Amino acid sequence: MLTREPTRPMSRVVKLGGSLLDLPALAMRLRDWLERQTPASTALIVGGGRLADVLREADRLHGLGESASHWLCLRAMTIHAEMLAAMLPEACLIRSLADWRTRPPASLSILDPWSFMREEEPRLPGGALPESWLATSDSISARFARGADVDELALLKSELPPSGATLAEAAQAGYVDPLLPRFGGDLPAIRCVNLRADDFPERVWRISGR
């Protein structure tokens, strides 16, 4: 007798842009957006925001170097991950793909990306991200999404990309980082959402199908 395999649970990675950290009632708006989505195992990754801007200025003034600045920005993302975990106590703070794989279906997680970037990301297919200012939380999120084999990457930002722009054109316009087309180009879908706007307008790049 033939038996059907169980349906694969849906999963997504959600990058919360650092520009949104000054949004009033951020936790409430984020929960509102999440509740409107198809139920899925979800990993949230928070950008560097103003802390990354401070580090960029420090690099300019003091010559820290791009590699040192890259890892300092990841420390900033750790701080923001822990801050978001305090705002969303229903979420679990994780530190690796190994942690992600132990989470139950339809759970909410927040990634502290430090250990993932140090230990797991360099071993993923496609080559490691460069230790430079070119690599932001956009491409870091794409790398985690690749390793986690999720159905989509959602980029929550303060605006939408230029109308009709391809992923490569959005990178050229500075809407996403210049490495995202390379490191996220094989994901099934990338969604762009304006979390500041009413009803959360979005645009979707359908890249590949499962």
DSSP line for 75-129? HHHHHHHHHHHHH-TTSEEE-SHHHHHTSPTT-EEEE--HHIIIIIGGGSTT-PP
Query: What confidence score (pLDDT) does residue 4 get?
Result: 37
Cβ 134 vs Cβ 177: under 8 Å: yes
- pLDDT tens for the chain, residues 1 to 210: 344 345 668 999 999 999 999 999 999 999 999 999 999 999 999 999 999 999 999 999 999 999 999 999 999 999 999 999 999 999 999 999 999 999 999 999 999 999 999 999 999 998 999 999 999 999 999 999 999 999 999 999 999 998 899 999 999 999 999 999 999 988 999 999 999 999 999 999 976 444
Specify the 3-state DSSP secondary structure of 148.
helix
> 156 Cβ partners below 8 Å, 6+ apart?
14, 15, 16, 17, 20, 30, 33, 193, 195
- Phi, psi dihedral angles at 114 (to 5 degrees): -60, -55
Q: Is 117 exposed, middle or buried (0-12, 13-18, 19+ CB in 10 A)?
A: buried
Nearest Cα to 177, choosing from 207, 127, 143, 208? Answer: 143
Q: Rounded CA gap, 81 and 13, in Å?
A: 14
Which pTM does this prediction carry? 0.93
Q: What is the pLDDT of residue 185?
A: 87
